[in-house]
Amino acid sequence: MTVVLAGIAAFVAAVIQRITGLGFVLVLVGPIVLLYGPVEGITLGVLLALVASLAAIPLVWRHIEWRRAWWLIWPGLIAAPFGALLVRVLPDAALLILIAAMAFFALIAGRLPALSASLTGRAGAVVAGSSAGFMHVASGLSGPPLAAYAVGDRWPQRRFAATAQVIFVAFSIVSVALRGLPASPVSDVGALVLATIAGIAIGTILARNVSPRIARVAMLALAWAGATVVLGRGILALLV
């Protein structure tokens, strides 16, 4: 039952990712952490994020801006080991609260004009990239700093969403290397990978008829619910 529920979550997250260009881990993080725990859940989430972005890249190839991607990737590669260290030293209850906090930040970052305004040019790319690399290893949620930079630097949405897939691939590879592979059975991991690929495929079809605004509303509703439940579980675990 666990792998079925996780597969449904991965499928829905992949569909939303394909339609909106972002949001895979944001939608997935709540269910996957609740089902597998903060360490194994994020390890699985990062691996599936790698699969989702790899599947999406051929579909958005012509819109990718490789030079911009590099200026966001290399600072993240430097910061990534610190995210892995944090995961190793924090107990599960604290990790749950940290993951929920990062999810909430992901949900409100776009509504902080001062944050976006401060992230412009090469200096802004370094700050956003290093923050994203750290957050990706710690929670899989690397999108908020990248999105804030895109707004501040007036990066066209289509090109940003395409380029972000390359950045997610780079950070996911490093995250898998630092965190290791999931401890779950290979058959379970394979089923989740297939669900993710199926979600990207169905999302590609639906993208022709489903408004990105509708997909975004669904993404936000699922993400808020998941983050709230994870936070509640973390607080309860801390008190017990």
pLDDT digits (tens, 9 = 90+) for 31-70: 898 899 888 988 999 999 999 999 889 888 998 999 999 9
Residue 208: which residues within 8 A CB-CB, separation 6 or more? none
| Cα angle value 93/7/196 (rounded, 5°) | 110
Residue 108: which residues within 8 A CB-CB, separation 6 or more? none
Residue 240: what pLDDT? 63
Residue 40: what pLDDT? 92
Residue 110: what pLDDT? 62
Mean pLDDT of 117-136: 83
**Residue 177, token pair as written in the block:** 């290397």
Residue type, 59: L
Backbone torsions φ then ψ of 68, nearest 5 degrees: -65, -40
Contact 99, 29 (CB under 8 A): yes
Dist. CA 237–CA 55, nearest whole Å? 36
* Lowest mean pLDDT segment, chosen from 48-57, 117-126, 193-202, 217-226: 217-226
Environment class of 12 (CB within 10 Å of its CB; exposed 0-12, middle 13-18, buried 19+): buried
Give the whole-number percent of the chain exceeding pLDDT 70.
Answer: 92
**Residue 167, token pair as written in the block:** 């950045």
pTM for this structure?
Answer: 0.85
Residue 138: which residues within 8 A CB-CB, separation 6 or more? 42, 83, 84, 86, 87, 98, 99, 102
Dist. CA 83–CA 205, nearest whole Å? 36
Residue 174: what pLDDT? 94
Backbone torsions φ then ψ of 23, nearest 5 degrees: 100, 5
Angle between helices 38-60 and 186-206 (to 10 degrees): 40
Residue 177: what pLDDT? 92
Contact 23, 219 (CB under 8 A): yes
Mean pLDDT of 90-98: 84
- Taking phi over 0 as left and psi of -120 to 50 as alpha, with beta for the rest, 180 belongs to left
What average pLDDT is seen over the chain?
A: 85
Which residue's entry shows tokens 């200096």?
123
The answer to whether residue 135 scores a pLDDT higher than 70 is yes
